[in-house]
Structure 1
Amino acid sequence: MGYDPDFLAAPVDPPRAHVTGDLLDYTHFSLELDPGRRLAAWVAWNVDGDRLHPGESIPRSGTRFRADPRVPEDHQTLDPVYADNRLDRGHVARRADLLWGPLDEALRANSDSFFFPNITPQMDDFNQERLGGSWGMLEAAILSEDGLRPRRLSLFGGPVLADDDPPYRDLVRIPREHWKVVVYRLDGALRFRCFLLTQQVDPGLRGAVGYLDEFDTWALPLTDLEARTGLVFPGLTGASGDDVGDARATADRPVDAMPAPGPLLVRNARDVEW
């Protein structure tokens, strides 16, 4: 039950937020709910790639989004935020990631994924195409690596809860950015990669987002991610992952043309050196 920090045969603790929130365990994932922002500060989940059920074998139809009765409703972002607009109820821990193990366990995970603490407001074109596609592309790439045995991942993700996120309906501030950390063991070594994706909330509320453009996916160093999110990742101490700007030569990117370490625009999963 909940995120297992020992899933990769080495302890990988979840992030720490600067604000103490509601800690909640679900089937295959856990999260910390920021009561002031009414959204998850972070979500942590495990993926057993050798025991995943195909997403279409466990339908999502008929499963409703709902408040978690264990915490006050005013700590959660609920249906009134999503009524009569282009905002989708976007999963943080992807439903498809959680559908592993015995069938009854996978069914519980499917249902748990629809609790509102695991949901963030996402523009429809961001959620329905770009987010699932980009995140799924990266996870599929690492799960296919020959040195990944067993085929297991631990993941952290969530919205970037920035102070200048635009307010909406006096109920929530809409995050412009979402982040994910993929943790894995490749050829016996514990490794991780950090990613960031932005959404354009509304033409009247654009604001500057630095090196990010609409719906671009970036790999970035852990120090950049910590600075952007205000989170600390103690579980990644000793793991390899801060060489984002190194060792990324491809047919289209010779060694002498590679940039210095820093954010890397990910156009294809092959851009990432796992």
Structure 2
Amino acid sequence: MSTAEPVPGYDAEFLGASAALPIPVDTRVVRELTYVHFTVLLDPARRLAVATGVNIDGSELRELGRSDDWRPDPRVGAEEQAGADLYLDNDLDRGHLVRRSDPVWGAPAVAEQANSDTFVYPNAAPQAAQFNQSKQLWLGLEDYVLTHADTYDTRLSVFTAPVLAADDPQYRGVGIPRSFWKVAAWAAAPGQGEDLLLMATGYVLDQTPQLDDVDLSDGGAVPAAGPPPLGPYRTYQVPIGDIAALTGLDLGPLVAADRFTAPAPVGVGSRDRWVRLDALTGVQL
């Protein structure tokens, strides 16, 4: 669907099967910031996004140049969003949460605005430079799932954010996330004439080993309480229910829509059922 005017925000009904933007299950305050084809839920206390959601129409995607014109969102105060100072003179990258290319579809003016909108600081999270530039597997997940979904439909909704843990190491007033999560959702008709059925898959990526290479001494960083039990540069396909537990978010129907058949857990809360991905062909769809 092309429009002459930008469409604000994430659309929960975009797939034809409802998939609401994940929200915190607790009482924490969040700022809902809408952009063209995506929404960011900003945690002002952490100055980072707690969740993002983007609608992708694969049949109308456009290729546009990258601007790297990062800027704050004027709708929230500077004290509520991690800005340029966090990334100055260090090895931290501004990592896109909503991938730059994902909302860039539709009429030319709409796609241009969406492209620009992805370069606001609420849509960024600090990542070790090596992590951000080397994770082709992580960056390619949307494309891989979209290609699969194209068998039925060309639309995809993707949710991404850092895992905001209470013991994240502090740097310049911002807790540096150790890991990130992503859920990709699409819809398909199980049979001719039947209603569309929501389908989804979930992933976690860890950057703890790369944080060891970032100088966090500036600003009185607090040492991490110990790395999570994940190795370097590892992407995992995980049960979406585990993402809900890890993040404290209500993922609604996405949990029941999970296409991943996880191994039996060894214990309660065990990550043994997380399956490491070494190639996109290992993704269960």
Normalising by structure 1, we get a TM-score of: 0.86
Task: Decide whether the 8 Å contact of 2:36 with 2:114 is kept in 1.
Answer: yes
- Aligned with residue 97 of structure 1, among 90, 93, 102: 102
- C-alpha change, 1:66 and 1:239, in structure 2 (3 Å) is same
Give the aligned partner of residue 67 of structure 1.
72
Task: Decide whether the 8 Å contact of 2:239 with 2:258 is kept in 1.
Answer: no
The answer to whether residue 34 in structure 2 is matched with residue 36 in structure 1 is no
Structure 1: tracts of 5 or more residues without a match: 247-259
The 3-state SS of whatever aligns with 1:241 is coil
Q: Give how far 1:154 is off.
A: 0.5
Which residues in structure 2 correspond to 1:223-238 (within 5 Å)?
223-236=241-254, 238=256
The 3-state SS of whatever aligns with 1:165 is coil
CA distance in 2, matches of 1:79, 1:173: 15
Give the aligned partner of residue 49 of structure 1.
58
Give the aligned partner of residue 191 of structure 1.
199
Give the aligned partner of residue 158 of structure 2.
155
Q: Give how far 1:148 is off.
A: 3.3
The 3-state SS of whatever aligns with 1:144 is helix
- C-alpha change, 1:6 and 1:269, in structure 2 (3 Å) is same
The 3-state SS of whatever aligns with 1:243 is coil
Give the aligned partner of residue 118 of structure 2.
113
Give the aligned partner of residue 271 of structure 1.
282
CA distance in 1, matches of 2:181, 2:281: 19
Q: Give how far 1:209 is off.
A: 4.1
Structure 2: tracts of 5 or more residues without a match: 1-7, 191-196, 217-222, 265-270
Task: Decide whether the 8 Å contact of 1:222 with 1:241 is kept in 2.
Answer: no
Q: Give how far 1:149 is off.
A: 2.6
CA distance in 1, matches of 2:233, 2:256: 31
Give the aligned partner of residue 230 of structure 2.
212
Give the aligned partner of residue 125 of structure 1.
130
| Identical counterparts, % of pairs | 38
Task: Decide whether the 8 Å contact of 1:147 with 1:187 is kept in 2.
Answer: no
Q: Give how far 1:214 is off.
A: 1.7
CA distance in 2, matches of 1:208, 1:47: 37
Give the aligned partner of residue 175 of structure 1.
177
Task: Decide whether the 8 Å contact of 2:72 with 2:81 is kept in 1.
Answer: yes
Deviations 1:71-121 (A, max 9, x none): 111000011110000111111000011211111111000110011000001
Normalising by structure 2, we get a TM-score of: 0.83
- Aligned with residue 26 of structure 1, among 30, 35, 57: 35
Task: Decide whether the 8 Å contact of 1:98 with 1:106 is kept in 2.
Answer: yes
Deviations 1:27-85 (A, max 9, x none): 0100111011000000011111111112xxx1113x51111111111000011110000
Q: Give how far 1:206 is off.
A: 5.9
CA distance in 2, matches of 1:15, 1:210: 24
Equivalent residue letter for 1:244: A
Runs of 4+, deviation exceeding 6 Å = none
Q: Give how far 1:244 is off.
A: 3.2
Q: Give how far 1:129 is off.
A: 2.2
